[in-house]
């Protein structure tokens, strides 16, 4: 009996030793056992086989339980989309917009914790616009403009989702300037949106406009064709004070009166010949401008013509009205000056200068031309925003 118990004790001690040795070996290992290592899992954005994808949507591939070794996103011509990996090599993100109506395909490899490579595969197709709509900014890079110049973006088609477009627009200025976008009735074959400051621009402000329109859904299957930008400068603060009752035209520059010209305005007795009261904006200049009216039977070329609205109103030289300049209003709506005075003013005029006409019975309005922005109060202007 004593011998049998001794044998059992030896067997028990041996068993404990084996278990202890195995446990010690497990604690001392530096790597996860192969059975516990995980395979790489891939997730794509947009999802695999997605269609109608915006070309500006984020494009990523993310690996879980592994790292990305190689990544390529390729169009049918074999061009790879630029992109970058994060520090852990777990996420690849595209670095450029994609093309419209294009199939993109993933390729490359991710390696899991288990050491096994997993290929990137699949792809997606970007949206197919019914039309790509272009926008054009009225003020080009490097220009210097007057203190009443609005920023205008003219589109070559009707914009249905104006809020989406407006969210893609920004204006940055070198000094704080309060302003807002306003949508005006469609013109020239498409929609148009203007940015107007609450008050005239501060002189010598630098302005940067960015319209990130590429990829924007305009509604109705139309999308933005391209981004547009402009960097320009506001010039000196020149304002024309045009009081028809005084028969004078006064030029004020940076708060100082620099000219006072005898002038003749539109004949008040004929509403069609009235010079419109309100803030006009200089848009064009001509050394010689042909002026024609079938209604009033004239066809003449006038010198030093500065356009101040699209309804035919100019500040220009007119020797024929010389006797009336400074004493009566006889014109067909323009502001007439002598040859010498018209040339002197012409040389100072900039696109965007305000011409403040007062003292006439008819007000400038939307029907008088494209830049009637300043005929609206600030509250009225803000209500034109889609946002």
> What is the pLDDT at residue 9?
36
Residues sharing a CB contact under 8 Å with residue 125, sequence separation 6 or more, in sequence order: 50, 51, 52, 53, 101, 102, 103, 104
Dist. CA 231–CA 64, nearest whole Å: 45
Q: How confident is the model at residue 6 (pLDDT cuts 50, 70, 90)?
A: very low
> What is the pLDDT at residue 369?
80
Dist. CA 68–CA 62, nearest whole Å: 8
> What is the pLDDT at residue 35?
61
Cβ(353)–Cβ(253) below 8 Å: no
Residue 72 pLDDT exceeds 90: yes
> What is the pLDDT at residue 34?
54
Write the pLDDT tens digit of every residue in 256-280: 999 999 999 999 899 999 999 999 9
Q: For residue 195, give the nearest of 179, 209, 207, 211 by alpha carbon.
A: 179
Q: Annotated catalytic, 204? A: no
Write the pLDDT tens digit of every residue in 278-335: 999 999 999 999 999 888 888 999 999 999 999 999 999 999 999 999 999 999 999 9
Q: For residue 165, give the nearest of 200, 201, 190 by alpha carbon.
A: 190
Q: Annotated catalytic, 332? A: no
Classify residue 49 as left (phi > 0), alpha (psi -120 to 50) or beta.
Answer: left
Burial classification of residue 276, based on how many CB atoms lie within 10 Å of its CB (0-12 exposed, 13-18 middle, 19 or more buried): buried
Residue 14 DSSP SS3: helix
Residue 23 pLDDT exceeds 80: no
Write the pLDDT tens digit of every residue in 115-139: 999 999 999 999 999 999 999 999 9
Q: Which of 194, 280, 332, 334 is catalytic?
A: 334
Dist. CA 332–CA 344, nearest whole Å: 22
Write the pLDDT tens digit of every residue in 191-218: 999 999 999 999 999 999 999 999 999 9
Q: For residue 225, give the nearest of 144, 131, 158 by alpha carbon.
A: 131
């Amino acid at each position: 009996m004593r011998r049998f118990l001794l044998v059992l004790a030896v067997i028990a001690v041996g068993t404990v030793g084996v278990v202890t040795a195995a446990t010690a070996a497990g604690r001392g290992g530096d790597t996860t056992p192969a059975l516990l290592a995980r395979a790489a899992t891939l997730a794509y954005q947009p999802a695999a086989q997605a269609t109608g994808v915006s070309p500006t949507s984020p494009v990523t591939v993310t690996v879980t339980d592994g790292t990305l070794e190689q990544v390529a996103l390729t169009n049918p011509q074999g061009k790879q989309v630029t992109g970058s990996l994060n520090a852990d090599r777990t996420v690849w993100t595209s670095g450029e917009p994609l093309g419209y109506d294009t199939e993109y395909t993933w390729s490359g490899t991710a390696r899991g914790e288990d050491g096994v490579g997993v290929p990137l595969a699949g792809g997606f197709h970007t949206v197919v616009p019914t039309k790509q709509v272009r926008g054009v900014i009225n003020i080009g890079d490097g220009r210097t403009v007057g203190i009443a110049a609005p920023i205008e973006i003219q589109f070559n088609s009707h914009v249905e989702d104006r809020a989406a477009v407006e969210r893609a627009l920004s204006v940055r200025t070198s000094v704080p300037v309060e302003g807002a976008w306003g949508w005006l009735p469609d013109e020239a074959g498409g929609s148009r949106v203007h940015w107007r400051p609450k008050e005239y621009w501060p002189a010598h402000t630098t302005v940067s406009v960015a319209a990130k329109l590429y990829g924007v859904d305009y509604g109705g299957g139309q999308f933005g064709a391209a981004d547009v930008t402009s960097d320009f400068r506001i010039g000196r603060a020149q304002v024309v004070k045009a009081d028809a009752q005084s028969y004078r035209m006064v030029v004020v520059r940076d708060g100082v009166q620099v000219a006072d010209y005898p002038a003749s305005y539109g004949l008040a007795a004929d509403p069609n010949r009235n010079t419109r009261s309100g803030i006009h904006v200089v848009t064009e200049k001509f050394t010689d401008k042909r002026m024609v009216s079938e209604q009033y039977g004239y066809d003449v070329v006038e010198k030093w013509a500065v356009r101040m609205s699209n309804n035919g109103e100019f500040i220009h030289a007119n020797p024929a009205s010389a006797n009336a300049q400074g004493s009566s209003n006889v014109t067909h709506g323009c502001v007439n000056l002598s040859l010498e005075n018209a040339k002197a003013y012409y040389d100072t005029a900039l696109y965007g200068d305000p011409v403040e006409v007062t003292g006439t019975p008819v007000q400038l309005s939307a029907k008088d031309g494209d830049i009637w922005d300043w005929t609206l109060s600030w509250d009225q202007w803000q209500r034109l925003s889609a946002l």
